[in-house]
Amino acid sequence: MKKFRLTPLFFRRVHKWVALILGLQFLLWALSGSVMALLDKDKVGGHGGGMSHAHPLPAGDYAMLAKLPNGEPVHGLVLRDLGARPVFEIHSPKGVELIDATSGEHIRVDQDMAREIASMMNEAPIRSVSVLSKPNLEARDFKGAMWRVDFADDENSSAYVSLDTARFLVMRGDTWRTWDFFWMLHNMDYVNRKSFNHPLIIFVAFGALWLSGTGFYLLFKSFSRADFRWLRRRRKPVVVTRSAG
Amino acid sequence: MAIRWSLLVRRTHKWLALAVGVQALLWTLTGMYMVAVHIDIIHGDNLVRALAEKPFDLSRLAEPSQVVAAAPGASEVRLQRYFGAPVWRAETPGGPYLFDAATARPLPKPNEAHIRALARQIYTGGGQIASVRLLTEAPQEMQSRKPPYWQVEFEGWNRPTLYLSPATGELISRRHALWRVFDFAWMLHIMDYDERTDVNNPLLRIATWSTFAMAAMGAWLLIWSFPRRKRKKA
């Protein structure tokens, strides 16, 4: 290598060396992409679209606004249903308070309520219930304290219910857990599994661009007329196109 | 014996690469774009203003029970602001409706002038409004949302576009050039050229596993590619 020339040999060397350094990640991208394409997206779930059932609010008696606790400035107020009963959700700088809209009494989101709400989403028997002071990896898209309700079904489903608002947050099952492991391999955020915009992945993606770019170029150098003779023997002249589907 | 294996693997690597080469190149190109441009920018978080949280004075409001009575079937009634004034927003099977929070009387739907004013209020950029249209058919970039909605386009290199609800004037979605490129890249990445959402389509499954095989064989070839420095060109 006395003189630097852009020969096929040079590109072959780039291809080899980039592959040596970043090839493992390229392989992992191909593998995790393959697995994610294989896992049924409906079983993975968790993407877009709330699954909550909306019941019409009963017309009738509600606690007067004046009866609501008024110690804190109110930044938001929502009247909604919780199971069958209407509730007020009061948002203040201190957090969210849940009030029975008929009696005006404070509601504590206890274990029984978490079970009841989770059971609206899954009919399987409940295996265990636990409380989380902050979201775990499975419920990372949400904030605050929450109940985790584990079901005894094939998917080992876990429902997450907000401790503040009693809203159903998300359901996670084993298919999602498998998907999430491969998603982690894909996005290379091994701690939070969430970001795909960090310096490591940008660096490796840039390298992979060289791997695929040189590989693509080498396709033109690696095939000769002889490679396609088997096609000609069978039919009249055929133009071979590179198809990626 | 070992040499024969390497030849077979090399041939297969080559032929698989011929089949998936364009797609592998597209995956790295689109992947590069998606990791390089931060997802918050793609979502257009910088295009819209976060509303300042001003406390509501509950003593001046009509009772929400009046709103429930006026909006049959309402599943949720929410206190929010409309041009700075408090309003009750009722979610009903027929869509959302706004009510004056002080009188519980229904508010008329926003007209084009209102939509312009609301869009200006939300948008953080300095560009002028280029066009305002009430769409009854979903454009490609809003396929996940059901029309109708107001489409407000702003001037600027990235053509920022806000979509507002015709019933309440609320922001439904925002789009801009980088989002559109991302969506196109995503389409190429998951190989669903129609809906751009099906990550389980057979074409993708075949292409991904073929690429995995191609890459695995390439990895194996590395073993032979380094010890002997001088090789004839294939």
Predicted confidence (pLDDT) per residue in B208-219, tens digit: 999 999 999 999
B88 in a structural domain: yes
Domain count, chain B: 2
B30 in a structural domain: yes
Which helix (H) or strand (E) segment holds residue B129: the answer is: strand B129-135
A32 and A58 assigned to the same domain:
no
The neighbour count for residue B155, using CB atoms within 10 Å, is 13
A62 and A101 assigned to the same domain:
yes
B58 and B25 assigned to the same domain:
no
Confidence of residue A172 (pLDDT cuts 50, 70, 90): very high
Closest CB from A60, A79, A211 relative to B76: A79
Q: How many CA atoms lie within 13 A of B81 on its CB side?
A: 16
B57 in a structural domain: yes
B192 in a structural domain: no
pLDDT of B72 over the 50 cut:
yes
Report how far apart, in Å, the C-alpha atoms of B63 and of each of A40, A87, B70, B78, B92 are.
47, 14, 11, 12, 18
B62 and B85 assigned to the same domain:
yes
DSSP B45-107: GGGBPPPP---B-GGGSPPHHHHHHHSTT-SEEEEEEETTEEEEEEEETTEEEEEETTT-PBP
Name residues 168-207 of chain B within 8 A of A (Cβ).
190-191, 198-201, 203-207
Name residues 72-101 of chain A within 8 A of B (Cβ).
73-81
B60 in a structural domain: yes
Confidence of residue A48 (pLDDT cuts 50, 70, 90): very low
Q: What is the mean pLDDT of residues B137-148?
A: 91
The reported pLDDT for the residue numbered A67 is: 78
pLDDT of A240 over the 70 cut:
no
Domain count, chain A: 2
pLDDT of B195 over the 80 cut:
yes
Longest dimension (CA), chain A: 91
Residue numbers in B near A29 (CB within 8 A): 27, 31
Question: Mean pLDDT, chain B, as a whole number?
Answer: 92
Structural domain that includes position A201: 8-41+180-223
Structural domain that includes position B77: 51-107
Q: What is the mean pLDDT of residues A131-155?
A: 96
The reply to whether A205 touches chain B by the CB within 8 Å rule is yes
B132 in a structural domain: no
The reported pLDDT for the residue numbered A52 is: 57
Helices A8-38 and A174-187: angle between axes, nearest 10 degrees: 160
A37 and A83 assigned to the same domain:
no
B56 and B86 assigned to the same domain:
yes
A175 in a structural domain: no
Within its chain, how far is the Cα of A158 from the centroid?
A: 15
pLDDT tens-digit readout, B31-63? 999 999 999 999 999 999 987 778 898 888 999
Cα Rg for chain A, rounded, in angstroms? Answer: 28
pLDDT tens-digit readout, A86-104? 999 999 988 899 999 998 8
Confidence of residue A69 (pLDDT cuts 50, 70, 90): confident
Q: Which of B84, B107, B130 is the last residue of a domain?
A: B107
A115 in a structural domain: no
Task: Tell me what ipTM this predicted complex has.
Answer: 0.89
pLDDT above 70 covers a percentage of chain B that reads 95
pLDDT of B234 over the 60 cut:
no
Cα-based torsion angle of the residue sequence B62, B64, B65, B71 in order, rounded to the nearest 10 degrees: 110
**Amino acid identity, residue A119?**
S
B211 in a structural domain: yes
Closest Cα in chain B to A58: B68
pLDDT of B225 over the 60 cut:
yes
Q: What is the mean pLDDT of residues A56-78?
A: 84
Range with the poorest average pLDDT among A222-236, B62-76, B99-113, B189-203? A222-236
CB pair distance less than 8 Å for A66 and B234:
no
A29 in a structural domain: yes
The reported pLDDT for the residue numbered A49 is: 41
CB pair distance less than 8 Å for B21 and A242:
yes
Look up residue A104 and give its two tokens: 């005006």
CA dist., res. B100 & res. B82, Å (int):
9
Cβ within 8 Å of residue A201, ≥6 positions away: A187, A188, A189, B35
pLDDT of B232 over the 80 cut:
no
B62 and B100 assigned to the same domain:
yes
